[in-house]
Structure 1
Amino acid sequence: MRLSARIGLAVGCTVPLLVLASGWLLLQFVARDLHRAEDDHLRERAAALVPDARALLRAGAAGRPKAADTRERALYSAALDVGVRIVGPDGSFSGGPQPDSGVPLPARTGTPVTVRAEDDSWRALARPVRTPLATGTLWVFAPDTADRGRLRLVRRRVLVTTVLAAPLSGLLAWGMSAGAAAPLRRLTRSTAGLDPRTDRARPPLERTGIAEADELAATVRTVLARYDEQAARTAEALDTARSFSAAAAHELRTPLMSMGTNLDILVGHPGLPEPDRTEVVADLEREHGRLLGLLVMLRDLGRGDLVEADAFRTADLTEIAETAVAEARRRSPGALIALDAPAGVTVRGWESGLRLLLDNLLANALAHGVDARGRASVTVGIRRADEWIVLTVDDDGAGVPECDRERIFERFRRGPASAGSGLGLTLVAQQAALHRGTVTVGDAPGGAGARFEVRLPAAAGELPYRRDWLIGTAGTYRSQSFPKEGS
């Protein structure tokens, strides 16, 4: 059943009940008002008739028939428009409009009551009449016009109103609810044939003036927007997975072929001299380490491509740098690694990504920052510069030629003597871009060696347009907003 039909049926059933209840209350009020007027008249007539009734009882009790007849006529004349009945010890006297003598009367009462006799009803009031010789009761009667006339008219009108109110109120409620449900019908038509997988059309944003319909339309748009966002994330994940598999297949082919060749040599020449065997095994170990490093780097690139906005929090860059330096010292105990950073320098960022950035910068400096004595000396610095947080990593190596300072951040770019995967500095560039920053390379302050400088914004903001770093091509992805503190 449609909503408009439900509302019309509910109103059509409720309104007649309300009309009946209101009519019943109205009847009670009207009857009370009419009875009040009749009862006041009965009290006035009873007060005027009591002296004549007392005289009539005295004459009857004294055995004076003529006097009794005279007093009875006087009583009836004084009654005017009401019926009178005197009930005494020697009989009763009655005259005027009143119920038949066979109609039972209530017990003596000082308030007016209703007495019913077949199709007629009467208002009756009793008054005790006392004399030294006899005691009786004076009854005064008046037709109950409230019950026979006006109340019947009111009752009929209430019933007619009830009969008419049921269909009229139902139709009116149906019409009003149908008009109110029109925005819902339009929303239904606009979304009935909508397939979010193939159709990019969305319900228009329009105000209907009906809060529930506008809220439902906003909810539908929100659900579709979330679907679009999730579909975009799924597409990004699929693209990253394809890029990962393509890059892994391309880059792993050479080390795997080399490892296969070395294994064939070991299997095909069991009597290989020990120096040659040692060289082949060492080559296998190098290729194995290269494979592991390459897979780890590819995994980290994929994580950077898929990172979500809710992973960004307020991170203590000084603390991250201290942890990264401590780990680098543990792995390279012969190197001299210094840290110059004030306490409590924070940025808005992905903590794991910032640690990747520092680890790869330190690894690059330790690998290529060896001085003439064969010792690596690295200095990590953090400082504030206006609206930027500047992170520097200096080494005492041969430096980077100006012609190669842009290309070293490209994917799989390795120097002639490098044994790495060629993805370490690519990870650094990815994380810098992901945090809305930049990374550059220049000469170290002493003139010898290289300085890698990363600038990160100190204030929070939106993530930039992302890039698929696994395949090395720019893509115009949506921008993401940083979450609020504590979210």
Structure 2
Amino acid sequence: MRRIFGSVRSRATLGATLVVAVALVAAGAAVLLSLRSNLMDQAGNEAQRTAQNVVAQLAAGKPYDQLDLDDESPVQVVDANGTLVAASDELERISGTATDAVKPQPPSGGTGTGAGADDDDDADDDSGRGEAGEIGEGTEFSDGSATIDGESADYRFAAVPVEAGDRGRLTVYAGGSLDAEQSAVNTALTVMLVGFPLLLGVVAGVTWLVTRRALRPVEGIRGEMAAITASEDLARRVPVPGTHDEVARLALTTNETLAALQTSVERQRRFVADASHELRSPIASLRTQLEVGVAHPELLDLDGAVEDTVRLQGLAADLLLLARLDAGERPGDARFDLGALAREQAEGRAEVTVEARSAQVAGSRGQVGRVLTNLLDNAARHARSAVTLTVRREGEWVVAAVADDGDGVAEADRERIFERFVRLDEARSRDDGGAGLGLAIARDVAVRHGGALTVGRAPAGGALFELRLPQAQ
């Protein structure tokens, strides 16, 4: 059960069904209330018309026993004292009006009906007749029930007042049947109870099928990623659907991530292989010299052993720095003078000419100094006679430029020389102790400091390396 409702398709289907169910219930309730209100208003209007018909007769002075009352609707005429003075002939029971009486009683004061008059000669002509009156204002409505000729039903009652001359203030109660309202509401409720579950079933089925179709590429991506994980083959790629939607963009992003991961892993493998190769040479040379020294102490080349040890130490330091850079070590935000640092790094180098202005930058002074050292070492290996180091400001940037008068770098190789363990002159670089890591370290440090390192052609024809760092604010 947990697995079923843990899927996106199940949750989407359940969510859509619940939303539609809430919407249907709300819409159904609104429809029922509106229908009931309209039908109640119709019953009230019918009751009011019936009551006003009786009111018109009373206002004209018509006697109670001669009133034309609707035998199909409950009608009551009540005087100011609450006495029933007229009612429908077939009325047997009533509730919801001012009185539950169904049989008329003599009016207060002995006037208004023939039943309470004396047997004088003029009683037959004037029994229950009063003077003409006025129709009052302000109809009130109430709900109740009544029984007419043995049939009980619910009614909407309208109470209409009238000033009936010498008979005083009377109130006419007339009922409008609520059978139509109850029948319509019950019918609508039955339709909703039957139709809503069917509609929810259709919504759930359609949502299930649509989400299944929409998520099918996701399952394909998941399966391929699982296969890549199991096989460790980063050259494989997940399938990209032709829908041009979020799933397709997810597949494209996944493939881009796999490509970047493959490049990183291959780069790491090459790095490990190259590092092992570079470390093998000085270690083998040092071991050979030590073994010869053990067997023949007089043949021990101490200078060569020291040179190999220094070379090995430098290579280990370079590898450690690259590992720290690859791990994302932050360069810090210390401020220092790049011009002063350039003069310090060039000190003791007879072939280097320095023209360095004072300029503040932020970052790791040691790492930036390492960049300048690597650039100066590289220039010294390739220069014929002179190396120039300048520091200047260009807008928001500080530029440290190292130029030599050597052969320069071919345009095709200007990016390749920044790759790790790349040496354009294998024999001379190895003899000079270079491992092909200096320029790679320099560019990585420059990028980590928010800057850049590029190579071009110097005015003297050699190589021109430019280190650009943002000026400290």
- TM-score bucket (shorter structure): 0.5 to 0.7
Cα deviation, 1:244-278, whole Å, max 9, x if unaligned, reads 12221223222332234335666xxxxxxxxx8xx
**Identity among equivalent pairs (%):** 12
**Shift in alpha-carbon separation, 1:412–1:77, aligned structure 2, 3 A:** same
Q: Does 1:423 align with 2:423?
A: no
**Shift in alpha-carbon separation, 1:121–1:205, aligned structure 2, 3 A:** closer
Q: Does 1:284 align with 2:302?
A: yes
Aligned mates of 2:374, 2:275 — CA distance in 1: 20
**Shift in alpha-carbon separation, 1:215–1:97, aligned structure 2, 3 A:** farther
Partner amino acid, structure 1, of 2:432: G
TM-score by length of 2: 0.61
The runs of 5 or more residues in structure 2 that have no matched partner are 101-137, 332-336, 362-366, 393-398, 408-422, 445-452
Q: Does 1:77 align with 2:77?
A: no
1:202 matched residue in structure 2: 238
* Matched-pair contact (CA < 8 Å) for 1:86–1:94: yes
* Matched-pair contact (CA < 8 Å) for 1:49–1:79: no
TM-score by length of 1: 0.59
Aligned mates of 1:356, 1:425 — CA distance in 2: 15
Structure 2 counterpart of 1:357, from 355, 363, 374: 374
Aligned mates of 2:222, 2:92 — CA distance in 1: 79
1:141 matched residue in structure 2: 174
**Shift in alpha-carbon separation, 1:173–1:311, aligned structure 2, 3 A:** same
Structure 2 counterpart of 1:327, from 318, 337, 345: 345
Q: Does 1:27 align with 2:39?
A: no
Partner amino acid, structure 2, of 1:77: D
**Shift in alpha-carbon separation, 1:299–1:219, aligned structure 2, 3 A:** farther
**Shift in alpha-carbon separation, 1:180–1:25, aligned structure 2, 3 A:** same
1:293 matched residue in structure 2: 311
**Shift in alpha-carbon separation, 1:303–1:229, aligned structure 2, 3 A:** farther
* Matched-pair contact (CA < 8 Å) for 1:84–1:141: yes
Within a 5 Å distance, the mapping from 1:414-453 to structure 2 comes to 422-424=432-434, 426=436, 437=455, 453=462
Aligned mates of 1:90, 1:411 — CA distance in 2: 123
**Shift in alpha-carbon separation, 1:40–1:393, aligned structure 2, 3 A:** same
Aligned mates of 2:217, 2:379 — CA distance in 1: 61
Distance apart, 1:46 and its partner CA: 3.9
Cα deviation, 1:89-137, whole Å, max 9, x if unaligned, reads 79744343664357573379951322213631332425366666x6574
2:463 matched residue in structure 1: 454
1:262 matched residue in structure 2: 293
1:48 matched residue in structure 2: 56
Partner amino acid, structure 1, of 2:86: S
Aligned mates of 1:244, 1:137 — CA distance in 2: 114
Aligned mates of 1:436, 1:308 — CA distance in 2: 20
Distance apart, 1:171 and its partner CA: 0.7
Q: Secondary structure in 2 aligned to 1:127?
A: strand
Partner amino acid, structure 2, of 1:218: R
Aligned mates of 1:238, 1:217 — CA distance in 2: 31
* Matched-pair contact (CA < 8 Å) for 1:129–1:137: yes
1:171 matched residue in structure 2: 202
1:372 matched residue in structure 2: none
Q: Secondary structure in 2 aligned to 1:413?
A: helix
2:133 matched residue in structure 1: none
Q: Does 1:125 align with 2:159?
A: yes
**Shift in alpha-carbon separation, 1:343–1:98, aligned structure 2, 3 A:** farther
Aligned mates of 1:485, 1:227 — CA distance in 2: 37
Aligned mates of 2:41, 2:160 — CA distance in 1: 21
* Matched-pair contact (CA < 8 Å) for 1:12–1:166: no
Cα deviation, 1:34-54, whole Å, max 9, x if unaligned, reads 0342144044224313336x6
Count how many residue pairs are aligned between Structure 1 and Structure 2. Answer: 378
**Shift in alpha-carbon separation, 1:92–1:342, aligned structure 2, 3 A:** closer
Aligned mates of 1:485, 1:239 — CA distance in 2: 36
* Matched-pair contact (CA < 8 Å) for 2:77–2:87: no
* Matched-pair contact (CA < 8 Å) for 2:163–2:170: yes
Q: Secondary structure in 2 aligned to 1:241?
A: helix
Aligned mates of 1:85, 1:428 — CA distance in 2: 112
Aligned mates of 1:219, 1:485 — CA distance in 2: 39
**Shift in alpha-carbon separation, 1:452–1:345, aligned structure 2, 3 A:** farther
**Shift in alpha-carbon separation, 1:81–1:353, aligned structure 2, 3 A:** same
* Matched-pair contact (CA < 8 Å) for 2:76–2:173: yes
Aligned mates of 2:255, 2:17 — CA distance in 1: 35
Q: Secondary structure in 2 aligned to 1:423?
A: coil
1:185 matched residue in structure 2: 216
Aligned mates of 1:439, 1:255 — CA distance in 2: 39
Q: Superposition RMSD on alpha carbons, in Å?
A: 5.1
Q: Does 1:245 align with 2:253?
A: no
Cα deviation, 1:299-357, whole Å, max 9, x if unaligned, reads 537867997799999xxxxx76752442342xx3x9474314677799xxx95774243
Q: Does 1:114 align with 2:131?
A: no
